[in-house]
Amino acid sequence: MHQIAVIGAGTMGNGIAHVFAQHNYKVNLIDVSAPALEKALGVIQKNLDRQVAKESITAEVKTQTLQNITSFTSIAEGVKNASLVVEAATENSALKLKIFAELDQHAPADAILATNTSSISITRIAAATKRPEKVIGMHFMNPVPVMKLVEIINGYATDKEVTSTIVTLSEKLGKVPCVVNDYPGFIANRILMPMINEAICSLYEGVAGVQEIDTVMKLGMAHPMGPLQLADFIGLDVCLSILQVLHDGFGNPKYAPCPLLVNMVTAGYLGVKTGEGFYKYTAGSKDLVVSSRFK
C-alpha cells in the first residue's frame, strides 16, 4: 500500500485519514465540500496537538502526519493513484452505491475499495462495481485515533487475499482486526443497537430514568458509557438508521426501533451533534445534564 484515499471529511473520515497519515501513509482526503476539508484538517491538527501534549507522539511526527495528507474535492482526481480507497461518507445506501460506482470508474483496476459502513451490506455495495472481489468492509470505531478495533467484513465475493491484506494493514496501524461475514449489522451493531433500543424502550415505558438506566449499565456491567449517553454520542439518527437496516434485513420485530427514538429523530434531537438528545450538551462543559424532557 503506497497511496490511501479516504472519502468523506466528517468525524470518521478525518479520524481514518489521521491514523493512516500518522503511520506514514500518503493520504488523499476527499470531500465535495472545501469547508468540510478545511474543518477536518483543523480537527486532525487539534487531535495531534493533544497527542503531543500527552507526549504520545513528538512534534516531528505531528508535522510529518499533516504533510502526509492532501485534500481533494474531486473523487476522480483523489483516487486515480490509490492502492486502497476507504469510503467514510454518510450512512446512506443510495449515496454509497453512487460513490462506489464512481470509484470503480476512476480508481486503478487493482485498487481495493473498502467501506467504513457500520451496517449496510458489503455485498450490495460491491454489486455497484465490476470488481466485487476487491470490495470489503473496514469498519473503524469512533474516535478512530483512540479505538483499537477494526471490524473487517467480507462481502459474498470478497477475495481471501483482499481480506488478508486488510487484516495485515490494520495491524500495521496498531489496530486489532476482527473478521466477520456480511449479515445485517455485522457483529458490533447487531449486538449494540438492540441493547441501545432496549434502553430507550425502558425509558419510554417508564421503567427508569435516563441517569438510572445509564448508571445500572456503567456500574453493573462495567460499561464505560451508559447506552443512552452512547446513543447521543453516536447520533440518534445513525442509531435509527442501523436499527432500520436490522429490521428490514431480518424481518424480525425484535429489531423494530422504539417509537421514542423515532420521535426524537423526527424532531431533530439527535444527541451531541445537535446539542440535545437524552442529555443536554453545552459547548465547553463536560457536565452530563439530563435533558429537561426526561426530568
Q: Which residues of 48-65 are buried (b: 16+ CB within 10 A; e: fewer)?
A: beebbeeeebeeebbeeb
Residue type, 237: D
275 annotated as belonging to a binding site for a ligand? no
> 5 has which bridge partners?
28, 85
139 is catalytic: yes
91 annotated as belonging to a binding site for a ligand? yes
Catalytic option among 14, 68, 83, 118:
118
Short-list 115, 124, 202, CA closest to 153: 115
Coil vs helix vs strand at 207 = coil
8 annotated as belonging to a binding site for a ligand? yes
Catalytic option among 151, 202, 241, 276:
151
Q: What does 197-212 look like in DSSP terms, one character per residue?
A: HHHHHHHHTTSS-HHH
13 annotated as belonging to a binding site for a ligand? yes
Q: What count of residues does the chain have?
A: 295
Short-list 227, 167, 155, 157, CA closest to 198: 227
CA distance 240 to 123: 22
- Please calculate the CA angle 75-77-83 and round it to the nearest 5 degrees: 85
Catalytic option among 83, 139, 154, 241:
139
130 annotated as belonging to a binding site for a ligand? no
96 annotated as belonging to a binding site for a ligand? yes
154 is catalytic: no
55 is catalytic: no
138 annotated as belonging to a binding site for a ligand? no
Q: Which three cell numbers, joined as nine digits, stand for 250?
A: 431480518
151 is catalytic: yes
Contact, 243 vs 257, CB < 8 A? yes
Short-list 67, 53, 75, 52, CA closest to 5: 75
251 annotated as belonging to a binding site for a ligand? no
**Chain centroid, CA 246 distance in Å:** 17
Q: Which residues are annotated as a binding site for NAD(+)?
A: 8-13, 31, 91, 96, 118, 142, 273
Please identify every residue annotated as catalytic: 118, 139, 151, 189
Q: Which residues are annotated as a binding site?
A: 8-13, 31, 91, 96, 118, 142, 273
